[in-house]
């Protein structure tokens, strides 16, 4: 199934951000973004974080970010394996102690580590 981009699209830097308004688990969100030729949105700076937050606020739903905890190193990394060069954790986060391997964005733009089986908004970047 092709990702239908009927939501608002944001352009930030050289990225295009788009949501299909669907709430799914992390694996399904990542798969639908990859099938559309992109990946799950992952902010690399404050400007990108704000653009993703704008979509989260528009739908008033938390969204998964393209960031995951690597089992071997116990570090959060972008899904392409690169180390985080930017983060915007909520106060006292991450606090999952290894059980919460995915990252969601709250409507205020801060991040929280979360289990990967929750249903969150899909936001892709291209």
pTM: 0.91
| Mean pLDDT (whole number) for 102-119 | 98
pLDDT, mean over the chain: 92
- As a three-state string, the secondary structure of the chain is CCCCCCCCEEEECCEEEEEEEEEECHHHHHHHHHHCCCEECCCCCHHHHHHHHHHHHHHCCCEEEEEEECCCCCCEEECCCCECCCCCECCCCCCCCCCCCEEEECCCCCEEEECCCCCEEEEEEC
Alpha carbons 27 and 18: distance in angstroms, whole number: 17
Confidence band (pLDDT; 50, 70, 90) for 102?
very high
Per residue in 45-70, pLDDT tens?
A: 999 999 999 999 999 999 999 999 99
Q: What is the pLDDT of residue 98?
A: 74
Confidence band (pLDDT; 50, 70, 90) for 1?
very low
Per residue in 20-42, pLDDT tens?
A: 889 999 999 999 999 999 999 99
Q: What is the pLDDT of residue 6?
A: 55
Could you tell me how many residues make up the chain? 126
Taken in order of first residue, the domains within the chain and their CATH numbers are 9-125 (3.10.100.10)
């Amino acid at each position: 199934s092709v990702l239908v981009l009927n939501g608002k699209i944001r352009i930030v830097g050289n990225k295009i951000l788009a949501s299909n308004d669907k709430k799914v688990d992390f694996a399904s969100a990542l798969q639908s973004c990859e099938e559309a030729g992109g990946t799950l949105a992952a902010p690399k700076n404050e400007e990108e974080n704000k653009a993703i937050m704008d979509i989260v606020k528009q739908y008033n739903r938390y969204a998964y970010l393209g960031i995951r905890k690597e089992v071997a190193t116990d570090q959060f990394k972008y899904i392409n394996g690169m180390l985080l060069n930017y983060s915007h954790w909520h106060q006292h986060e991450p606090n999952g102690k290894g059980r919460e391997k995915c990252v969601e964005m709250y409507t205020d733009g801060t991040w929280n580590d979360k289990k990967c089986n929750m249903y969150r908004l899909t936001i892709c970047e291209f």
